[in-house]
Structure 1
Amino acid sequence: MALKHVLEVLDLLDDGAASGQRVVDLFAGFEHVTASTTTVTGEKGSTDFIRIEIAGTEGKKAGGPAETTGIIGRLGGLGARPTRIGFVSDGDGAAAAISSAYKLAEMSTRGDRLPGDVIVTTHVCPDAPTRPHQPVEFMDSPVDILAMNTHEVVDEMDVILSIDTTKGNRVVNHRGVAISAPVKQGYILKYSEDLLRILETVSGQPAQALPISTQDITPYGNGVYHINSILQPAVAAEVPVVGVAITAQSAVPGSATGASHEVDIALATRFVIEVAKEVGAGTCEVVDEPEFESLVSMYGSMKHLSTLPNA
Structure 2
Amino acid sequence: MILKQVLEIFELIDKPTANGEEVVEYIKKAGADSVFVKKISTEKGSTDFVKIIIKGKNGKLSGGNAPTLGVIGRLGGIGARPEMIGTVSDADGAIAALSVALKAADMKRKGDLLLGDLIITTHICPDAPTQPHNPVPFMGSPVDMQLMNEYEVDDQCDAFLSIDTTKGNKIINTKGIAISPTVKEGYILKVSDDLLDIMQIVTGQLPKVFALSQQDITPYGNGVHHLNSILQPAIATSAAVVGVAITTETAVPGCATGASHPMDIEIAARFSLEVAKMFTQNKCSFYDSAELSILLERYGDLKKFQTLGEK
Q: Same fold (TM over 0.5)?
A: yes
Distance 1:31 1:169 in 2: 38
Distance 1:131 1:32 in 2: 35
Q: For the structure 1 residues 57 and 262, does the alpha-carbon distance in structure 2 shift closer, same or farther, using more than 3 Å as the test? A: same
Distance 2:84 2:281 in 1: 43
User: Paired residue for 2:268?
Assistant: 268
* Aligned: 1:283 with 2:278: no
Q: Do 1:27 and 1:33's aligned partners in 2 also have CA atoms closer than 8 Å?
A: no
Other structure's SS at 1:78 match: coil
User: Paired residue for 2:96?
Assistant: 96
1:187-206 CA-to-partner distances (Å, cap 9, x unmatched) read: 00001000000011000000
1:143-194 CA-to-partner distances (Å, cap 9, x unmatched) read: 0000000000001010100000000001111000000000000000001000
Other structure's SS at 2:280 match: helix
User: Paired residue for 2:82?
Assistant: 82
Distance 2:309 2:288 in 1: 29
* Identical-pair percentage: 54
Q: Do 1:27 and 1:34's aligned partners in 2 also have CA atoms closer than 8 Å?
A: no
Q: Do 1:43 and 1:143's aligned partners in 2 also have CA atoms closer than 8 Å?
A: no
* Aligned: 1:171 with 2:171: yes
After TM superposition, the structure 1 = structure 2 runs for residues 132-143 of structure 1, keeping only pairs within 5 Å, are 132-143=132-143
User: Paired residue for 2:237?
Assistant: 237
Matched to 1:36, the amino acid is F
Q: Do 1:42 and 1:144's aligned partners in 2 also have CA atoms closer than 8 Å?
A: no
Matched to 1:53, the amino acid is I
Distance 2:189 2:28 in 1: 39
Distance 2:214 2:15 in 1: 37
- Give, in angstroms, the shift of residue 64 of structure 1: 1.0
1:42-84 CA-to-partner distances (Å, cap 9, x unmatched) read: 2311100000000000110121110000000000000000000
* Aligned: 1:131 with 2:121: no
1:10-47 CA-to-partner distances (Å, cap 9, x unmatched) read: 00111110000011111233445211100111231110
Other structure's SS at 1:27 match: helix
* Aligned: 1:18 with 2:41: no
- Give, in angstroms, the shift of residue 309 of structure 1: 2.7
Matched to 2:56, the amino acid is G
Q: Do 1:94 and 1:122's aligned partners in 2 also have CA atoms closer than 8 Å?
A: yes
| TM-score, normalization by structure 1 | 0.99
Distance 2:294 2:15 in 1: 50
Distance 2:309 2:294 in 1: 27
Matched to 1:154, the amino acid is D
Other structure's SS at 1:281 match: coil
After TM superposition, the structure 1 = structure 2 runs for residues 139-154 of structure 1, keeping only pairs within 5 Å, are 139-154=139-154
| TM-score, normalization by structure 2 | 0.99
* Aligned: 1:187 with 2:187: yes
Matched to 2:298, the amino acid is M
User: Paired residue for 2:27?
Assistant: 27
Distance 1:206 1:310 in 2: 41
Q: For the structure 1 residues 77 and 65, does the alpha-carbon distance in structure 2 shift closer, same or farther, using more than 3 Å as the test? A: same
Distance 1:287 1:184 in 2: 9
Distance 1:186 1:46 in 2: 31
User: Paired residue for 2:215?
Assistant: 215
Matched to 1:72, the amino acid is I
Q: Do 2:31 and 2:106's aligned partners in 1 also have CA atoms closer than 8 Å?
A: no
1:103-122 CA-to-partner distances (Å, cap 9, x unmatched) read: 00000011101001000000
Other structure's SS at 1:61 match: helix
Matched to 2:89, the amino acid is S
Q: Do 1:3 and 1:266's aligned partners in 2 also have CA atoms closer than 8 Å?
A: yes
Other structure's SS at 2:161 match: strand
- Give, in angstroms, the shift of residue 308 of structure 1: 0.9
> 5+ residue gaps in structure 2?
none
Matched to 2:29, the amino acid is G
- Give, in angstroms, the shift of residue 273 of structure 1: 0.2
Distance 1:31 1:15 in 2: 24
Matched to 1:307, the amino acid is T
Distance 2:309 2:58 in 1: 42
After TM superposition, the structure 1 = structure 2 runs for residues 29-44 of structure 1, keeping only pairs within 5 Å, are 29-31=29-31, 33-44=33-44
Equivalent residue pairs, number: 311
Distance 2:143 2:275 in 1: 30
Distance 1:68 1:163 in 2: 17
Distance 2:163 2:27 in 1: 21
